[in-house]
Amino acid sequence: MDDTPDPAPSPDVKFLKWLVTTLAAVMICGVLAVVIVLVIRLQPTPPPLPSEITLPDGARATAVTQGDDWIAIVTEAEEILVYDRLTGRLRQRVQIAPQDAATR
């Protein structure tokens, strides 16, 4: 008996190697697609405001929350503006204290 290995791989091994290479390429493309979609979807966008509310000049909203009869908007100037839900009239303005002043 001759125990020397066959120098040429069989057609089944070539096909299996091709399948593994193709699978690796598809997986790399899939991971890249997921990362791209996450980056696009997780971009910060300003919250939408109801059409009946107008912010003071120069104010930009960073967060919006709603209650039964009010809408509160947090601005970049660290201020909370509370509006009446029905009329859109400004009810209250609250200045948020700086973090280091609140811990004293």
3-state secondary structure of 29: helix
CB 59 within 8 A of CB 75: yes
Distance, CA of 6 to CA of 43 (rounded, Å)? 56
70 or 4, higher pLDDT: 70
Please write the tens of the pLDDT for every residue from 73-95: 999 989 999 999 888 889 999 99
pLDDT digits (tens, 9 = 90+) for 35-55: 999 998 888 776 666 777 888
Residues in CB range of 81: below 8 A, 6 or more apart: 55, 56, 59, 72, 73, 75, 90, 92, 93
Tell me if 14 sits within 8 A of 22, measured CB to CB.
no
pTM, two decimal places: 0.51
